[in-house]
Every structure is written in C-alpha cells, then in structure tokens.
Amino acid sequence: MTFVQVIDCRTSRADELNRLMDAWVEATQGKRTATHSIMGRDRADSTHVVEIVEFPSYEEAMKNSNLPETDRIFREMVALCDGEPSFTDLDVMRDEQLNKIVVRSFFEEVINGKNVDAADAICTADYREHDPSLSSYDIGLEQAKAENREIIAAFEPTATMESMVAEGDLVCVRVSFKGRHVGSYQGMEATGREVSGTAHASFRCEGGRIAESWWNFDDLGLMKQLGVLED
C-alpha cells in the first residue's frame, strides 16, 4: 500500500530548508526509496512549511528513514526550524491523481520523447504488457521495451491523450496518434507514408509505478494506410 509522510514545520529560513532538501536528494541518490516529494509554503503564513513525501509502502519509508544520510539531514532540518517538526504518517486510500501523473509520464517520455529506457523508472520491475499487436499478448518489461523501440523507430509516432479516467489503481486512456512509416515494421520496409489512428489503453498502477497495461490499436486501419490491405 502506498504510504505518505507529511512533515509540518515553522521556519523563517524556508529557502535554506529548500536547499537542504536538494542536498538530501543528492546524498541519497540510488538509495532513496521516495517516489514523489512536494514542498509547499502557506500563503497565509510564510513561516509555515509543509513537505509531503510519497513511498511505495510503509516498509520502504522505514528503509529511507534508516539511511545515515536521512538522519543527518533531519538533524540539520530541525536546526532550521522554529521548534520540532511534526510528522503525520498516512496509508493512501485513494491516489488516482498520482496514477494519472505516472501514466501521462509514460506517454510524454517513452512515446513522444522516444526514450524507451525511461520505462525503467516509470514501470515496476515485474511489469507486464498485453497487446495483441506484439509478439505475445503477455510480455515483460525488457521484451516490451525491445518491441516498442522497433515501433517507435518505424513510425516516429506522436500520441495525443484525448481523455483519461482513473478509478482505484486503474487508469484508462483514449489516444490518437500520428506518424510516418520511416523504418522496417513486421517485415515491411519503410513506405514513407503518413499514418494516423486511435487507440485505447488501460494501466494498473502499483506504488506510484505502472505494473500492467492493456493496449488496443486500430491495426486494421494502419495496415490499410500502409497499402497492405485494400479498403
């Protein structure tokens, strides 16, 4: 279960506190288990600062707390505060908006950014992808990356998210896409033809990452645009 810690403090040295948080991120690079962090300042009281830190689970948060770097940063944080900070520990009951953010990141970074390796940080290690247009309907992360890398190289697609709905750990997306057939695809040499179409995709999120996805593209329409099938 996703876990969130809310750190509430008062300080007249908010800028120094912000820089300290940067130092914490740098010091724990590769070891920090937090998946998302937000710091905000109260508009009605500039000395009131709140940080919200998300973790995949309470257990992962405890691993983060036990890092020697975290202990050092905490002591420096207390020194910057006007009194002892308060901590509120929350088990997340609903996190649809966070799930939307990670799904949007997949489209922006992996597909539109043409950076297939970005999926390593966006998806879980045991991620499964279900897509009838791929070599198998159920493939893991590395195979999905390899096959999607070929698709991106073949069509250089740009995806537009037309709508998105989230409920529980699921996010459903309606997508339109455009591209050009510039590379080999499933044995077909590049035709140079422009292509466009639609797709629907559903994502199951877990701990702030995508754990599973289901894709449905208009493959028939794509084959017609490539001249493989007649209208």
How high is the mean pLDDT in each 10-residue block of the chain (231 residues)? 90 89 82 84 93 89 86 87 92 83 95 95 95 88 94 93 92 95 85 92 92 91 81 63
CATH number, position 42? 3.30.70.100
Count of domains for the chain: 2
Q: Give the side-chain half-sphere CA count within 13 A for 84.
A: 2
The answer to whether residue 25 is domain-embedded is: yes
CATH number, position 192? 3.10.450.50
Give yes or no: residues 113 and 78 share one domain: no
Give yes or no: residues 208 and 122 share one domain: yes
Report which of 187, 125, 132, 177 is spatially closest to residue 155, judged by C-alpha positions.
Answer: 177
The answer to whether residue 40 is domain-embedded is: yes
CA distance 135 to 181: 20
Give yes or no: residues 122 and 75 share one domain: no
- Identify the pLDDT of residue 17: 87
Give yes or no: residues 84 and 47 share one domain: yes
Strand partners, 205: 210
Q: Which domain holds residue 200?
A: 96-225
Give the residue carrying structure tokens 């009605």.
44
pTM for this entry: 0.63
- Identify the pLDDT of residue 231: 63
The answer to whether residue 231 is domain-embedded is: no
Q: With contact defined as beta carbons under 8 Å apart, do 214 and 200 qualify?
A: no
- Identify the pLDDT of residue 67: 85
Report which of 159, 131, 158 is spatially closest to residue 145, judged by C-alpha positions.
Answer: 131
Give yes or no: residues 40 and 130 share one domain: no
Give yes or no: residues 118 and 77 share one domain: no
- Identify the pLDDT of residue 25: 82
Give yes or no: residues 79 and 137 share one domain: no
Domain boundary among 56, 91, 126: 91
Structure tokens of 67? 């890092």
